[in-house]
Structure 1
Amino acid sequence: MNVEELVRDSLRELAAEQPVAGPGFADRVFAGRRRRRTRRIASVAAATAAVVGIAVAVPLLDSGKGDVRPANVLDQDGIHAHPEQTPPRDVIGAGDAVLAAYYTARTRPLAEDRAVSERTYWLLDAETGRYEKDTRWSFVAVAPGVRTAAVLERTLPARRIGLLDLATGEVERWIPVGQRVGGLAFSNDGRRLVATTYEDSPDTQTKEKVINADGKEEWMWMTAWRGSSRTGFYDLDVASGRGSWSAVGPDRNGNARQDFAYSRAGDLVYQRVVGGADGMQKFYDLHGREVAAPANEKHLRSDVPARLSPSGRLAALGLTKEVNGSPGRSYSSIRDPRTGKEITKVRGAHLLAWADEKRLIAWERVTSLDEEYRPRLVLVTIGSDKVVPLSGVRKESLNAERQEWEPVFARR
């Protein structure tokens, strides 16, 4: 079976599984369009605002009832591109994937040989479709639907988890925790939250001697390796805030940050394992016991964020081929998740999120392989060599103590 047939069958299966849309579905879908048009007519602006409100709720807990999403997030053309902006100021997205936030990071020294990397986030304002700086948070995870984010306050690890309403910018509820938290991730359906716990900051850095581009030795802040203080994870119900904590110590092969995320089905969690022989991931049940990887995820790599396609029938894997030129061209592997067999290759050096069953958002370099690596966000398509630029070119920082903007994608 070729990729076109596989994708076609996947879409048919998805369509067959979908429930019949309830009354008013079309009105909800087109509400965003109507909202923007009516803004041009001052006499009806107030009435339109009353009809097209932004849903303020925990994602998916109401099974989509009354789901009127912001105009700039749900748009019928499917692509929001701003190739002139880096970092982006206006919403970027394609298909079901939207850039819900991004962050930069700077090193803050704590002692002569110890520091932490601190993030600053820009969150998507669903009302305006623009990214707004929010310095309150050290870590942000955005739920499917782009209405709610789980946040941690500035000092990590944190004693409580906030549920932030992205429409109002206010924390709707705090979830207190006994074990201090340093990382967060939502389940695929948005109903649950895995919170990774640490004794110390997971963003610790140490000063190490390196050889610079001129061949000279210099001291540089580096991510701390083999020194994680991870203690375990919480599996929390978002609606109630209740859940359980399981003890899982750090992996000796990992760095300081060893966060957990849910498997696609949500019945397991996995961690990133740097240099591991099992594809850089280990799976645990929700009681903290190490288990085998699920059949459809055992061939994945946790350093490729896109992972499984919406249907679960395609797997995004890592970079497999680079072709020099101006610019260089990079290709990543698309595989059968159960067998690990390659189905095809797709443009893109680093696959970040699936837009739909045939398209993905990726980092793609704009320089030759002989030049400094400089990427931009692009939309790539299975079966095509065409790329659609979504963002401007990220300028890699020459300062090791500063990290350029990193995207946070969510499903809309």
Structure 2
Amino acid sequence: MDLLRINTAGSVDDGKSTLIGRFLNDSNALTKEQIELIERKTKEKGLEDLDFSVITDGLIAEREQGITIDVAHIYFSSTERKFIIADSPGHIEYTRNMVTGASNSEVSIILIDARKGLLEQTYRHYFISCLLRLENVIFCINKMDLADYSEDVFLSIASDINKMAAQFEYKPVIHILPISSLKGDNVVETSKYTGWYTGKTLSEVLHEIIPNGINTDDFRLDVQQVLHVQNTEFTDYRAYAGRIISGGIAVGDSVTVLPSGQKSEVTEIRKFTDTLSEANTGESIQLRLKDEIDISRGSMLVKSTDEKLLNKDIAATLVWMDEKQATASGKYLLQAGTRTVACKLQQIEGVIPPENPSAIAEASNLKLNDIAKVQLRTSNPVFLDSFSQNRLNGSFILIDTQSNNTVAVGFAD
């Protein structure tokens, strides 16, 4: 049974948590205890319709404010596939949490209030979906019940969505649906009030999207540990343990060690007690090589060398995630995989306004939630691919050297 990772986003009160609760309820994925919780909380609040948001809004502060602050992850299965849904916060102050929620997703669901249309957060969330190279973006025009299920309202907002998407170079597959998460229209069951809509329900769309298959990007393995074993079962055993970031490897393949550039041949692939002939993206394995060469934690094994991997000057897009502003010449730690190196913010080329990504504005500093084009310089190579070419090996984080806070997430250009 395959797995689909989904991120939900939208502005405050657009109904994300309610949508997830409705989707789970109508898919018969709620437990008896969860149903009782919904009924009890609905009664306490004196509401007519069931309050499904209590399923995901777990923090006390969230329930008191009626908003989502942290990223809630929900795991459930239908008869056809498994789902992991990340319910990201809608308030602009928590855009950094939305980046976290979407970073491991394959599909983004962006909710829009039918009464309000596109807002600043709509542009921001779509920008982040494109920045993260999500292949499918589903726009759910929610609260259609409060817009009298008007086709004109739906078409007007759909037109605005298409105009927004046309501004971006990256083109994901876009789906636009009229729904009511509170009433359940077009979530799992087709609505009887939107006869003018002939498209699929949200459930049908999610079941038809094909999850990311076998990764065919270039082979990258982060060396996490060098194993030296000497016992009765293993004599002079030396292997390199790590996780395959992207691509695949097989016994007999030639590999190059970064940063040294030394080459060797794979003689054995081991996964715990099993010996494999090949391994692919995401697997944690041990590799044995034909030659005794200098490899340590932080090295990377690749099949073919690309000079870009050895660059110390990195052009990148940053999402600033700290309340303390960044300035040019600021010094940080850059972490990518098992490598942590000193880094300098050489230049801020400009801040990207999500509502008009081509109109990059000059800036001397970066504020919380700013998205910017920057130039970085590292003390040592960190072996990054361009994020657009290899999503699994193109991202990194910046760490404040004094507070140890993660202050930014970055994507190599």
Q: Same fold (TM over 0.5)?
A: no
Of structures 1 and 2, the larger Rg is shown by 2
* TM-score, normalised with respect to structure 2: 0.26
* TM-score, normalised with respect to structure 1: 0.26
Q: As a proportion of its length, which structure holds more strand?
A: 1
- Structure number with higher relative contact order (C-alpha < 8 Å, ≥ 6 residues apart): 1
